Chain A
Amino acid sequence: MSSSTFALPNTTSAQHLADLREVTARIREHVVNMCAGPEGGHVGGSMSLVEILATLYFRVMLVDPQFPASPDRDVLLLSKGHGGIGLYATLCEAGFFPAERLADYGVHGSSLMAHPNTDVPGVEMPTGSLGHGLALGIGFALATKLDESDRRTFVIMGDGELQEGSVWEAASVASSQKLDNLIAVIDRNGLQITGGTREVNDLEPLADRWRAFGWRVFEVDGHDVDALTGALSAEPEEGKPTVVIARTVKGKGLPAVENQIRSHYAKLGDRQRRSALAALRKGQRS
C-alpha cells in the first residue's frame, strides 16, 4: 500500500479546505484560551505548529480517536514538547477528548501540563526535553519494519531543537537503517528564546545538512495545508527517511506577537485574551 492511500479523499476540494480552515481557527482559539489559564503557555511555538498538526491529523495520518492505541495507526511524536497546547487543541478537535477538558490545562492536579504525557489520550510518548523524538521515532519505525507494516511515524521538531546533538546522532542512525517510513517535520519558525536561530546557533544550510545525512528533503510553506499535505503524503523514497522543512511564523495569527521572540511564552490576562481572539477572527475573515 502506498502512503498516499492514507490521505483523505477530496483533499483539494474547496469545501474540505474551508473545513480545515475552521479547524485551524478553533485550534488557535483553544491555544489562546489555554494561555489565559492559570499558568499561561507556549503560545508562539504552538501557533506556528497549527497547520502542521491539523494537516497531519485531518488529512494525512490514519488514526482512530476511539481507539488511540490501534495497531494500524500512524504515529505522531511531538518532539518539540513545548508545542503541547497546540497538540492538546488538535487532539480534542480530532475527537480524542472533549474540548471542555482543555479548561483543565495548568490546573493543579491536572495531567494537561505544558509538556505532553501519556495520560492525555492520543499522546504516544512524553516529550519536552528537546532532542528525544527522533530516536523514539526510530524505535517505532524499526518495530513497524519488523511487522512488515506500512504504518508511518511522524516526528515534529522545532528548529531550535536541531541545536541538540542527539538529533543528528539519530538522523544518521535513521538513514543508515533505511527507515523510509520515518518522516520528520521541522517547524522552522526561525526563533528561539533568546533570539533568531541564525544569531544564536545557525542551522543553515539546513536542507543541505539533512541531505548530507542521507535524508530526502521537502521545503514547504508551513501554513499552506495543501503544500504540507503534498509533502507529508508523498510516496516514500525507498531506503530514505524524509524531512519536511516547514517554514512557519512563530505566533502565527496573533499580530501583536507574530515573529517576535516574546511570543515564546505568554500568560494572557482577560483583556489580552479577548483582543487575541478578536485578532484571530479578523485574520480568519481576511
Chain B
Amino acid sequence: MTAAVKVLSSREVYRDIVAELLPRDERMICLDTDTGLFGGVDFGAASNRYVNIGIAEHTLMGAAAGLAKEGRIPFVNTMAAFACSRAIEAVKIDIAYNNLPVRIAATHSGVSAGHLGPTHHALEDLAVMRTLPNMTVIVPADAASTDALVRQALALPGPVYLRLGRNATPDLPAGPPVKLGQAQVLRQGTDITIAACGSYPVLAAIEAAELLGAEGIEATVLHVHTVKPLDTATLAAAAGFTGTVITVEEHWRTGGFGAAVAEALTELLPVRVHRLGLPDRFVGVSGSQSYLLERAGVTAAAIAERAKSSLKG
C-alpha cells in the first residue's frame, strides 16, 4: 500500500521554501505576525532571523521596509485581508515608494478563509496591490506553480505580493514551465479565450474548455499567475486569434484580474471581455472556499454558459 502524497496549500509550499532557504541566505529574514504558519519549523542556527512581532501588521510592513533598506530580504507574513487593507499605507509608502525587496506572503486570499467570513476574506487585494508602482503581483494556482513562482521571485529587486491560499487545492494538469511574468498556455483553441487567475478559477477554466470542446467550441485556456506585470503580449495574441475573452478570478469583479485584462486589451484590440468573479457585495454566509465560489458563479458551467451566449450574441 502506498501512502497518499499530501497535497499542500500554497501557503504551506511557501513556508517550506522559506524554511529551506532562510538558513542558507544571510539576507533573508522572516517576520511573522502570530500567524502560526511557522509553528513546526526549526530554523536552527538561523532562528534569530525568524521574528514574531505579534499582531501588528502596520509595524510588520514598516519594519520590513527598514530591514530591506539595510540590505535584508524580508519575508513578511499576514493574511491577505490585513496586508491589503489594514497595513496598506505602510505597504504603499514604506515598501512600494522605496521599491524595496520585501516579499509579502498574503495567506487566506480570496474566500479561502471560508466560514471565517468577510472580515477574513480578501476580494479587493489584487485591485489594491496592482495599482502600486514597483509592486509585482503573483497568484499561484497550485503547489507546483507556488514552488516555481516563489523561487523565481527571490531575485526580484523590488517588492512582491504573493497571493496565497489557505487550503490545499488540486494540482493543475501538466503544462509548459511556469515562468514569472508569462501566462501559461494550458490549451489552444480557435473560438474563445478563457484567462484565469488562481486555483479554482484555473481548474474551472480547464473544465469549461472540456465542456465546450464536447460541443465543438474550442477554447484557449491561459493560466495567468502574474497579474503585474501582466503578460499583455500573450493575452493580446490569444484574443486577436479567438476574439472574445472570458476572465475568471477569485476576487470582486471590480478592479481585479479581469479589470487588468480589460484595461490592457481595450488599448490594443476591439475585443469583448467578460469578467467572471465575485459580485459587488460582501459574502455574508458560512461556507467552504469551493462552496462560496460556486455560489458566486465562479464555476466551469458558468464559464461555459457565458462562452456560448457570447458566441451566439
Known: A169-B56, A172-B54, A177-B53. A139 touches B67 (CB 8 A): yes
In whole angstroms, how far apart are the Cα atoms of A199 and B58 in the complex? Answer: 27
B53 / chain A contacts, CB cutoff of 8 Å:
138, 173, 176-177
Residue A64 CB within 8 A of the other chain:
no
Known: A166-B58, A172-B54, A173-B53. A132 touches B93 (CB 8 A): yes
In the complex, are the beta carbons of A139 and B56 less than 8 A apart? no
Q: Which of B54, B61, B68, B94 has the most CB of A within 10 A?
A: B94
Chain A interface mostly: helix
Q: Are B62 and A138 in contact (CB-based, < 8 A)?
A: yes
Which B-chain residue is minimally distant from A143 (CB atoms)?
B70
Contact for B51 among A124, A153, A170, A177, CB less than 8 A: A177
Partner of A142, one of B51, B58, B89: B51
Residues of chain A with a CB closer than 8 A to B49's CB: 146
B177 within 8 A of A: no
Considering only CB atoms, which chain A residue lies closest to B66 in the complex? A139
Q: Is the CB of B59 within 8 A of A166?
A: yes
Scoring B residues 57 to 95 as 1 if CB is less than 8 Å from chain A, else 0, what string do you get? 011111111111111101000000000000001100110
Q: How far is the CA of A140 from the CA of B61 in the complex (A)?
A: 13
Chain B residues with CB under 8 Å of A284's CB are none
Does residue A136 face the partner (Cβ distance < 8 Å to B)? yes
Q: Is A135 in contact with chain B by the CB < 8 A criterion?
A: yes
CB proximity of B101 to chain A, nearest CB, Å: 13
Q: A229 in the interface, Cβ–Cβ < 8 Å?
A: no
Interface: A242 (CB within 8 A)? no
Cβ of B248 within 8 Å of any chain A Cβ, yes or no, is no
Across the interface, which residues of A come within 8 angstroms of B68, CB to CB?
Answer: 139
Do A143 and B58 contact each other (CB < 8 Å), given the known contacts A126-B97, A132-B90? no
Instruction: Provide the residues of chain A in CB contact with B123, threshold 8 Å.
Output: none
B59: A residues at CB distance < 8 A: 134-135, 138, 166, 169-170, 173
Q: Is the CB of A143 within 8 A of B56?
A: no
Cα(A147)–Cα(B72), bound, Å: 11
A36 → chain B closest CB, angstroms: 29
Q: Which listed residue (B61, B62, B72, B90) contacts A143, Cβ 8 A?
A: B72
Q: Is B48 an interface residue (CB 8 A)?
A: yes
Least CB distance, B304 to chain A, in whole angstroms:
47
A126–B93 contact, CB under 8 A?
yes
Which residues of chain B have C-beta atoms less than 8 A from A128's C-beta?
93
Find out whether the CB atom of A139 lies under 8 angstroms from the CB atom of B93. no
Report yes or no: A143 in contact with B93, Cβ–Cβ below 8 A.
no
In the complex, what distance in Å separates the CA atom of A134 from the CA atom of B61?
A: 11
A131 to B59, CA, bound (A): 10
Query: How far is A146 from B67 in the complex, measured between Cα atoms in Å?
Result: 10
Known interface pairs A125-B98, A126-B97; A139-B54 also in contact (CB < 8 Å): no
A140 close to B62 (CB less than 8 A): no
Q: In the assembly, what is the distance between CA of A141 and CA of B98, in Å?
A: 18
Chain A residues within 8 Å of B93, by CB: 126, 128-129, 132
Task: Check A144 for interface membership: any CB of B closer than 8 A.
Answer: yes
A142 to B48, CA, bound (A): 10
Does the CB pair B69–A139 fall under 8 Å?
yes
Number of A-B residue pairs with CB-CB distance less than 8 Å in the complex they form: 98
| A139–B97 touching, CB < 8 Å | no
| CB of A170, distance to nearest CB on chain B (Å) | 5
A118 at the interface (CB under 8 A from B): yes
Could you tell me which residues of chain A, from 161 to 199, have a CB within 8 Å of some CB in chain B? 166, 169-170, 172-173, 176-177
Residues in B neighbouring A129, C-beta threshold 8 A: 89, 93
Which of B48, B58, B64, B89 touches A139 (beta carbons < 8 Å)?
B64
Known: A125-B98, A126-B97. A170 touches B72 (CB 8 A): no
Minimal beta-carbon separation of A17 from chain B (angstroms):
34
Interface residues of B in 19-34 (CB under 8 A from A): 29
Q: Which residues of B are found within 8 Å of A176, using beta-carbon distances?
A: 53-54
Does A137 belong to the interface (CB within 8 Å)?
yes
Note all chain A residues with C-beta closer than 8 A to B61: 135
Task: Please pick, from A131, A146, A147, A173, the residue contacting B63 in the complex, using a CB distance under 8 A.
Answer: A173
Q: How far is the CB of A21 from chain B (nearest CB, A)?
A: 34
Contacting residue for B69 out of A124, A166, A177, CB 8 A: A124
Complex Cα distance A136/B66, Å? 5
What residues on B are CB-neighbors of A142 within 8 Å? 29, 51, 63, 66-67
B60 and chain A: residue at smallest CB distance: A135
Give bound CA distance, A135 to B48, whole Å. Answer: 19
Alpha-carbon distance A141/B71, docked complex (angstroms): 13
Contact status B70-A135, CB under 8 Å: no
Contact A140 B70 (CB under 8 A): yes
The chain A residue sitting closest to B49, CB to CB, is A146
- Expressed in whole angstroms, the minimum distance between the Cβ of B87 and any Cβ of chain A is 9
Chain A residues with CB below 8 A from B62, complex form: 132, 134-136, 138-139, 166, 170
Expressed in whole angstroms, the minimum distance between the Cβ of A202 and any Cβ of chain B is 23
Known A139-B66, A166-B90; 16 more pairs at CB < 8 Å:
A126-B97, A131-B58, A132-B62, A132-B90, A135-B90, A135-B94, A139-B67, A140-B69, A143-B71, A143-B72, A146-B72, A166-B58, A166-B62, A169-B59, A170-B58, A177-B53
10 A-B pairs with the lowest CB-CB distances in the bound complex, closest first: A139-B66, A135-B62, A143-B70, A139-B63, A139-B67, A135-B59, A138-B63, A140-B66, A136-B66, A166-B58
Binding site for B on A (CB under 8 A): 118, 124-126, 128-129, 131-132, 134-144, 146-147, 153, 166, 169-170, 172-173, 176-177
